[in-house]
Structures are given as C-alpha cells and as structure tokens.
Amino acid sequence: MPEVSEFRTIHQIIKKAKQNLSQNLWDYVVGGTASETTLKRNRASIDSKALLPKILNDVSEIDTRGSILGQELEIPVILAPIGSLQNLVTGGGATAAIAAEGAGIMSIASSACHPDLEDIAAASKSPKIYQLYVRGDADWTDLKVQRAIDAGYTAFCLTVDSAVISRRERDISKDVTPTSKPISGYGDRIFQQSLNWNDVKRIKDNFNIPLIIKGINRADDALKAIDHGIEVVYVSNHGGRQLDHGVGSLDLLPSVVKAVGGNAEIIVDGGFYRGTDIVKAIIMGANAVGIGRLEAWSLAAGGAPALVQCLNILKWEISETLSLCGVRSFDEFDSSFVVPSDVVYPPNTLSAFPLLNLEDDGY
C-alpha cells in the first residue's frame, strides 16, 4: 500500500488505482451502459457551466461545511453506494465507512456490497445511509428497513433506476465477467422490476426513518416523491451505467430543485470529480454531492487512507474555489455565480484530469 503522502493530486490516485486493478475491475469502475453517452453527458453538463467570481471581498476565513438530514459534513459530499465494493478493497463497505469518519462526511452502504449492513454500521461512528436493491417481497423489504433502523442508520435509500440490468458493452465486448450478479436468478430481480409508489407509501407509513429516492430525473417524479413525504430527492442517472442517452445529472438538477421548492433536501451524483464540480452543484441547488468513481478509485489506490486523502484534496479544492469566487461559505453564493460556457475537453470518464497519462485508459 502506498504512503498517503504519495498522493498530492487526484489524478495520482487514479493512476495508482489503474495500476492496482485488473482490466475487469477497471472497466467495471470507469464504464457506462451501451454507447456510454449518458456517462459523457454527465461530464459535459458540468463542464458546460463556468464560475463567475466576485472580487474584493474578505475571504481570509473559509467555511467549506455542508449538511444533510441534520448531519454536518466537513464538505457537502457523500460517498455514494457502490456494489461489489469488496472486490476493490478489503473490507468493502466497512472500509468506506471508516474513510467517511476520517474525512468528516457521510457514506451510503449498498445492499450489493459486503459485509452485512450491521457490520458496516459498526465499522465507524460516522452517520450512514443504507441503500437497497429490492430482491424480495414486501416482508423481505420491510425486514431490511427494520434492520437498518436497529443498526442505527440515519436514513434508508431506495434505488429506482435499475429495474433491469443494463448492457455494459465495454464489459461484454471484452468478455469481462460482471462483478455484480443477482442473488439467485430471475425470481429475485422481478421484485426490483415491480417496485412502485405503493411500496414507497408502505415504507413511509410503517417506519420512522428518513427515506431517500435515488434515481430521480424528472420534475414530476420529484413532486410525487414530495407528495409521499420523501425527505431526500436523489438526482442520479447511476453514473451513466443504466439508461443510455440520458441527460447529464447537472442539467437535470434545476428543474428538480424548482419542483421540490425546498420541501425536501437534494443529493446529486454523476461525474463529479473536482472541487469546482461540487461548488457548481451546490450553487445550483443541491444540498450534497455523491461521489462514486472517486470513492472506488481511491479505495483501490490505497484503502481508507487514500480515500481520506482524496477527500482532503477535494476540501482544499473547494476552499480554493470559494476563496477565488469571493465568498466565505456556500451561503454567500447565488445563481449569478454559474453561467453557461463552452466545453474545453471532449467529455469522458477521465476528462476532468487532462494531466492523467494512462497507457491504456480503455478508450
């Protein structure tokens, strides 16, 4: 394992992850579905917006903190749920939770990763969210909710953009074996396919835990979520890994923010890799930003210490961005700070890191 001091930039972390991962696992992390159009649009949606700073303001003290569900975050970032995380790092979801505590943020544990939800909950003192892919009937699902409550999770999350498993041609064309498999055949997957608003209502009616809906793209669905009492609307296209030819996440955000109207908190993910990316999302109305690939790369590069280092670099980038925008905290931003602009680099998974030089980046 490298010394954390080896990593002074995020692109160094990604380079180390590439060295440590098999081609199978590298493709799993960087790839998207089919033509990978949605994946590229995620970056395009971020890069097509520029920051417009103010000047001659006192920025001698900077506050990078954010919050979600009443939990203070050192930066407004959450570790997104990643399936099969145990294939990238020893300890899987528990290791991610340890890093979240080290960086002062929150993590989301995927039901498709190991260890069990109780072990992840016990791994650190940081607040955690449990995310579920539904693989059983109502009683099966309700038991998962109750276990999450008993284990002390801050909130429960349903992922709703994965009714079927997408065709990820990067993997298929290279005969890569998927790292995530259904628990036991089609009978389990049918429950995710049949998931609907009645299930959301049942959970809200029967359990006292904040509920997050992950995978909202449309304003009308955001309104339905509000009508069902959802505490957090999670704007996401699964990192471009589910529906091909979807809209970039940051382009989805404004209509959802308008529809929610402050009646719920908002998380967004999809291609956010830089401090400037995080700042744009918060200015445009998100309460927090989920990072998935950054989490995966960092854990593959050097476990929890490397992920903490990555988050510390993000914090520095965010602090620098606030300073150079002429504000002392996120509260001082308004919509005038983000304006349309041209995309400089052709968008792809790694276009946020133009200094990164990989012999085989898979493209």
Chain-centre distance of CA 338, in angstroms? 22
- Residue 133 marked in a binding site: yes
DSSP letter for each residue of 77-110: EEE---TTGGGTSTTHHHHHHHHHHHHT-EEEEE
The CATH number given to 4-328 is 3.20.20.70
Check if the beta carbon of residue 67 is closer than 8 Å to that of residue 77.
Answer: no
Closest by Cα among 206, 249, 213 to 233: 213
- Residue 175: partners with Cβ closer than 8 Å, 6 or more residues away: none
Reported confidence tier of residue 168, pLDDT bands at 50, 70, 90: confident
- Residue 159 marked in a binding site: yes
Q: How far apart are CA 74 and CA 216, in angstroms?
A: 26
- Residue 168 marked in a binding site: yes
In the chain, what are the domain boundaries?
A: 4-328
Secondary structure class of 255 (helix, strand, coil)? helix
- Residue 293 marked in a binding site: yes
pLDDT, tens digit (0-9, with 9 covering 90-100), for 278-330? 999 999 999 999 999 999 999 999 999 999 999 999 999 999 999 999 999 99
Q: How far apart are CA 220 and CA 336, in angstroms?
A: 26
Joined tokens for residue 234: 């999670």
Beta bridge mates, 211: 156
Check if 245 is active-site. Answer: no
49's enclosing H/E stretch is: strand 49-51
- Residue 98 marked in a binding site: no
Taking all residues of the chain, what is their mean pLDDT, rounded to a whole number? Answer: 93
What pLDDT is attached to residue 177?
A: 56
Joined tokens for residue 133: 């892919």
Closest by Cα among 4, 5, 32 to 350: 32
- Residue 298 marked in a binding site: no
Quick one: CA torsion of 324, 329, 335, 340, rounded to 10 degrees? 30
What pLDDT is attached to residue 363?
A: 36
Q: Kindly state the average pLDDT of the residues 185-213.
A: 88
From the CA atom positions of the chain, what is the Rg in Å? 19
pLDDT, tens digit (0-9, with 9 covering 90-100), for 61-109? 999 999 999 999 999 999 999 998 999 999 999 999 999 999 999 999 9
Q: How far apart are CA 345 and CA 264, in angstroms?
A: 35
- Residue 18 marked in a binding site: no
pLDDT, tens digit (0-9, with 9 covering 90-100), for 126-143? 999 999 999 899 999 999
How far is residue 331 from each of residues 49, 57, 66, measured CA to CA in Å? 20, 14, 10
* From 11, 114, 228, 238, the catalytic residue: 238
What pLDDT is attached to residue 361?
A: 47
- Phi and psi, residue 46, nearest 5°: -80, -45
| pLDDT score of 203 more than 60 | yes
- Phi and psi, residue 279, nearest 5°: -60, -45
